[in-house]
A and B are shown apart, each in its own frame.
Chain A
Amino acid sequence: QSVLTQPPSASGTPGQTVTVSCSGSGSNIGSNSVYWYQHLPGAAPKLLIYRSNRRPSGVPDRFSGSKSGTSASLAISGLRSEDEADYYCAAWDDSGHNYVFGTGTMVTVL
């Protein structure tokens, strides 16, 4: 099972801000960068955030990431219908010498 824990679901209405949390430990989030991916059904995952809070070119600034201690979060502001997807956090885990993904959060736009 994953060592990074996320809530199974999150939801909001258009225009609202939704926050997805990711809880880890000292061997992963506590000592390494966190990455966030958006995964739409039938598509390849897409990198949203790297090095905990940086956005690749082309990713809207509505998406923002933060990290504190052994936890991280992804905020989606100005929620849109096209943001409905699964979101995964990820990090390198030093103790397991393993790249780990979070359990995933399904974001629903009401």
Chain B
Amino acid sequence: QVQLQESGPGLVKPSETLSLTCNVSGESIINKYWSWIRQPPGKGLEWVGCIYISGKTDYNPSLKGRVTISVDTSKNQLSLQLRSVTAADTAVYYCARDPGTIFGMVNYFDYWGQGRLVTVSS
């Protein structure tokens, strides 16, 4: 059974960097594609970005320049860094799996973490 669990600080100061980790169990992280998705309070879901099997990344254009997604294969973990945060970055952040293969992503998410609320405030 694939399980994902987000962790990281729940409070980040404005202008600082938000850093989250997603621990993946039940699946080797190098076999699939992984995304971060967020939901601001009272709002809808927003795709943050993804990392491919090849290590290539894609990011939401609205966040480009501030976001980095990476993997640590030795720890089977996915990471998110979002720089220069503002109150608008306050959200529940989810990590999720795209069950695609080496032939490509399937563009849906079949396993999700429970989410981590990150509040940006001084």
Which residues of A are in contact with B by a Cβ distance under 8 Å? 2, 32-33, 35, 37, 39, 43-47, 50, 56, 88, 90-92, 96-104
Contacts and interface: CB of A to CB of B under 8 A. Distances in A.
Contact of A101 (B47, B50, B61, B106): B47
B31 interface: no
B61 A98 contact: yes
Contact of B44 (A46, A47, A97, A103): A103
Contacts of A91: 107
A90 to B, nearest CB: 7
Contact of A39 (B45, B58, B60, B106): B45
Contacts of A103: 44
A101 B45 contact: yes
Interface residues of B, number: 20
Contacts, number: 53
B117 to A, nearest CB: 11
B44 A101 contact: yes
Given A44-B115, A47-B109, A50-B106, A98 B47 contact: yes
B106 A45 contact: no
B27 interface: no
B61 A96 contact: yes
Contacts of B115: 44
Contacts of A32: 107
A102 B44 CA distance: 8
